[in-house]
Structures are given as structure tokens and as C-alpha cells.
Structure 1
Amino acid sequence: MRLIAVGDNVVDYYEDREEMFPGGNAVNVAVFWKRYGVEEVSYIGIIGNDEEGEHIVQSLVEEQIDVSRVRKVFGASGEAVVALDEQGDRKFVGSNKGGVQSQVKLNFADSELAFISSFQLLHTSVFSHLEKELPLLKQYIDISFDFSTNYEESYLELVCPHIKYAIFSGGELTHEECEALIARVHQLGTPNIIVTRGSAGSLFSDSKKVYSQGIIETDVVDTLGAGDTFVAIFLKEYAANGNAQEAMEKGAAAAAETCQRFGAFGHGKKRGKRIMIG
């Protein structure tokens, strides 16, 4: 299996630990694909020419992710400031709004589109600023898209017709609200929908049936990256065998493991505080 993630990357900076960890939805999904057995994984994104960008790329290299098409530009890499509550739930308390990724757009040459088409699935997210590229990309590859908590009708109409998998963070939604969201996204043309719901587990709809999965209890150190882990493993398993319930079970087990460490996938690096601009 060959899978590719395109778009957002950040360092998650833990103020209390004065430590930064590589992350971002697209990066996290790429890493968990590789860790859980995908043969070839590539990542395409934009980093700044700073210590943070170098740490992101070096961490991906250590995880055996192909980073040959990562772009480096002048400016600050994306950064989110993280705090944890007493239960280990992560809270984002600041950011530089994506750094250079919010200022420089990813474009794809014909040779790169040919490269992308050699993969089975492309994953990206609301934080990757690729909405206008989706009509082009879908001509070459199936797309999974993480909306996070963006449920705005105009945004759904922009993205949903072009993707195979829609992923939402629905921890603040009631079950009825999740069902209404699923129905609307199907109506807009997306055949497969995942809704992660924090401690309430997850839902998946394949247009015919809605499946549910609870969480797997574990000793929680940090919940950062748990949702991305679930999504990565679900997509990998479902694309391989089409068994939704089994894919959800394996995703939940992997997410529980992620909760046992700091950072989405480790690679913490000490760094002092700096002023956030943006």
C-alpha cells in the first residue's frame, strides 16, 4: 500500500515542559500510517527556514517518511502552544496561525500530479489551504479531508463534492447533530464520513449504514493526536479490506496507545519560550 499526506505541519509547544513536538493533522496521519504498517508513505508540505521546520522534517525522516517534495521557504514554521488539564486533555492556547503555510500556497506541477497519482489515497485537512486544488487533485487520486470543527454550510459545499472521505471532530455535537451532519455531507456528494467524538467514541457512515465505536480505556498522559491516530488507522484498514467495524476497533486501540505519551508521536525537543507573532 502507498499513501500520501499533503498539507499542514506544526510544532506543538508545551509551555510547562518548554518542549516542542512535531505535529499537524497531515503529518500525524502520515506518521501513524507508517508506524502501523503502510509500506510507502510520502508527505508534501511547506516549512519555514527555522529550527522548528528542521525538527519537523528530521522527525519525519526518522519515521521513514518520504519528504523529498517538502518545500522550505523564508519565514516561521507553524506553531501551536499547548496546555494540558488535569485529565491530560490538550488545549490549544495560542498559535502563529500556521506560519508560512498561511502565506505561501502549495502548487502542483504535472510531474508532481503524476507522482501523487501513484498512491492509493491522499489525506489533507482544513488547515492545509488546498480547497481550490481539490477539483484538480480528485482527477488523480481519492481524497480524505479532515474538517476539524468546520461545519459551515458554504465550506461543506466547497469541499464535499470532491472528496471520498470526510472527517469531523464532533466532540461538542450531540448524537442527533452528528446524524444531521452526516446526512448533509452525504447529500453534498461525499460517500464516506467519520466523526470522532472524544470520550464518546466515533461514528462512521458508508452511505448505507452508520457504525459506532467506543473508546478503549487507557492511562491518559496526553490526548493530543489521538483523533488523528484513529483516522489514520481507520483509513488504512478500511481502504485495505472494507471492514468498517474492524477498522474502527483497530483505530480505537491505536488512539488509546497515543494517549500514553506526550506529543502526537513523540520526538520532543527542548526549546525556550518565544514571542508568538501572527
Structure 2
Amino acid sequence: MKIIGIGDNVVDYYQDRGEIYPGGNALNIAVLCKKYGVEQSSYIGVIGNDIAAEHIVNSLKAEGVDISRIRKAYGPNGESVISLNENNDRTFVGSNNGGVQGLIKLNFDENDLNYISTHDLMHTSLYSHIEQDLHKLSKKISISFDFSSRHEETYLKEVCPYLNYGFFSGSELNDSQCIELMHYAKNLGTKIIGVTRGEKGALFLVDDQVYKQPIVEAKVIDTLGAGDSFISMFLVHYHQHHNVTEALNKAAIAAAKNCESYGAFGYGLSKKPNLSKDLV
């Protein structure tokens, strides 16, 4: 299996640790799928020319992810500020609005499209801002998309017709609301839909059957990246074996293990706090 992540990347600045960790949904999926055994993993996105961007590049190289078509711009890399809440859960408290990614659009030429088509699956997200390209990309490759908690009808109608996999974050939704959302996305064209809900586990809709997956207990020190590890393992195992129950169980195990270390996939780097003074 060959997978490519396209779009968002950031460094997550952990205030309590004074460290940055590479992250971002599209980047995380590329790295984690590589960790979970895909033959090739690649990443296309826009990075800056600062220390954060250099750290992302070094981390991707260390994980064996192909970044031959990455874009580099002059300016700050995307950065999010992470804090601990009263339940020791990681929360986002600020960002620099994507850094250079907020200013520069990913444009795909014919060489890009041909390169992307050499993969079996691409993953992207609402944070990647390539919705207008999904129609063109879907003619070249199967697409996986992370909606996070966004699920208004107009947005679903724009995105869902082009997807093979759609993932939502729905900790605030009850079972009935999740099932209604999944059926709505399916009727718009998305083939496989999942809703991850933190400690409430996950619900998936595959071939009109609803699957429930509970969480696996873990010694939690950092919840950041758990959802991305769940998605990554599900994509890898389901694509290879087409067994929903096994894929969901392995995904829950992977998410639990991810919670037992810092960052989405590690690589903490010390950073002076005043470098984040402009984040809002």
C-alpha cells in the first residue's frame, strides 16, 4: 500500500514542556501510516523557512516519508499552542493561523497529479483548504478526508461526493446523531464513514452496517494524536484486509498506545517560549 498525505502541517508548542512537536492531520497520517507498515508514504504541503519547518523536514526524513514534492516558502511555519486542561487533556489555546500555509495555496500541476496517482490512497483534511481540488484529485486517486467537528450540510455537499473515507470528531454527539450524520454523508457519496468520540469510542458505517468500537485502556500522558493514530491504523488495515471489526480493534489499540507518549509521533524539540509571543 502506498499512501500520501496532502495539506496541513504544524508544530505543536507544548507550553508546559517548552517543546515543539511536528504535527498536523495530513502530515500525521502520512507518518503514522508509515509506522504501521505501508510500503511507501509521502507528503505534500507548504512549510516555512524557520526552525519549526526545519524540524518538520528532519522528522519526516527520519520516518522515511517521501517529501520530494514539498513546497517551501519564506515565512513562519504553522504553529499551534497546546496546554493541559484540568483533566490533563491536551487542548488548543492558540495558533499563528497556519503561518505561510494561510497565505499560499497548494496548486497541483500535471506532474503533481501524476505523482499523486502513483499512490493507492491520499489523505487530507478541512485544514488543508483543497476542497476545490477534490473533484480533480478524485479522478486520480481514492481520497480519505478528516472533517474534524465540521458537519454543516453545505460543507458536506461540497466534499462528500468525492470521498472513499470520511472521518468526523463527534464527542458532543449521541449515538443517534452520529448514525444520522454517517448516513447523510453516505447518501452524498462517501463510501466509509467513521465518527471518533474520545472516551466514548467510535462509530463506523460500512456497507449500511453500523459498527461500534470501544476504547482500549491506556496509561494516558498525552491525548494529542490519538485520533490520527486511530484513522491511520484503520486505513492501513482495512485497505489491506477489508475486515472492519479487525481494523477497528487494531485502530483502538494504536490510539491507546499513542496516548502513552508525547506528541503525535514524538520528536520533541526545546523552544524558547518568547518565540510564540505572536500566536493568538
Shorter-chain TM-score: what band?
Answer: over 0.9
Q: Which amino acid aligns with 1:189?
A: G
CA contact (8 A) 1:186 1:207 kept: no
**1:276 Cα deviation from its structure 2 partner:** 2.4
CA-to-partner distance for each residue in 1:143-177, whole Å, 9 max, x for gaps?
A: 00000000111111110011111100011111111
Unaligned runs of 5+ in 1: none
CA-to-partner distance for each residue in 1:211-246, whole Å, 9 max, x for gaps?
A: 111000010000000000000000111111110010
TM-score by length of 1: 0.98
Partner SS for 2:250: helix
Q: Which amino acid aligns with 2:161?
A: P
- RMSD across aligned positions (CA): 1.0
CA-to-partner distance for each residue in 1:241-260, whole Å, 9 max, x for gaps?
A: 11001000000101111000
Q: Which amino acid aligns with 2:51?
A: E
CA contact (8 A) 2:94 2:279 kept: no
For 1:163, the equivalent position in structure 2 comes to 163
For 1:276, the equivalent position in structure 2 comes to 278
TM-score by length of 2: 0.97
Q: Which amino acid aligns with 2:277?
A: I
Quote the Cα distance in structure 2 between the aligned partners of 1:276 and 1:147. Answer: 27
Partner SS for 1:5: strand
Q: Which amino acid aligns with 1:151?
A: H
For 2:77, the equivalent position in structure 1 comes to 77
**1:85 Cα deviation from its structure 2 partner:** 2.7
For 1:61, the equivalent position in structure 2 comes to 61
CA-to-partner distance for each residue in 1:29-57, whole Å, 9 max, x for gaps?
A: 11111111111100000001111111111
Equivalent residues in 2 for 1:142-161, closer than 5 Å? 142-161=142-161
Alignment of 1:177 with 2:160, yes or no, is no
Quote the Cα distance in structure 2 between the aligned partners of 1:227 and 1:212. Answer: 15
Unaligned runs of 5+ in 2: none
Q: Compare 124-133 and 87-96 and name the one that shifted more.
A: 87-96
For 1:195, the equivalent position in structure 2 comes to 195
Quote the Cα distance in structure 2 between the aligned partners of 1:169 and 1:44. Answer: 24
For 1:5, the equivalent position in structure 2 comes to 5
**1:207 Cα deviation from its structure 2 partner:** 3.4
Q: Which amino acid aligns with 1:155?
A: Y
Quote the Cα distance in structure 2 between the aligned partners of 1:66 and 1:276. Answer: 32
**1:88 Cα deviation from its structure 2 partner:** 3.2
Moved over 4 A (4+): none
For 2:114, the equivalent position in structure 1 comes to 114
Partner SS for 1:147: strand
Quote the Cα distance in structure 2 between the aligned partners of 1:14 and 1:71. Answer: 26
Q: Which amino acid aligns with 2:159?
A: V
CA contact (8 A) 2:11 2:22 kept: yes
Quote the Cα distance in structure 1 between the aligned partners of 2:278 and 2:219. Answer: 32
Partner SS for 2:148: coil
Partner SS for 1:150: coil
Quote the Cα distance in structure 2 between the aligned partners of 1:244 and 1:276. Answer: 45
For 2:139, the equivalent position in structure 1 comes to 139
Alignment of 1:42 with 2:48, yes or no, is no
Quote the Cα distance in structure 2 between the aligned partners of 1:69 and 1:88. Answer: 38
Cα distance change, pair 86–262 in 1 and its aligned pair in 2 (3 A):
farther
CA contact (8 A) 1:87 1:220 kept: no
Quote the Cα distance in structure 1 between the aligned partners of 2:38 and 2:207. Answer: 26
Partner SS for 1:156: helix
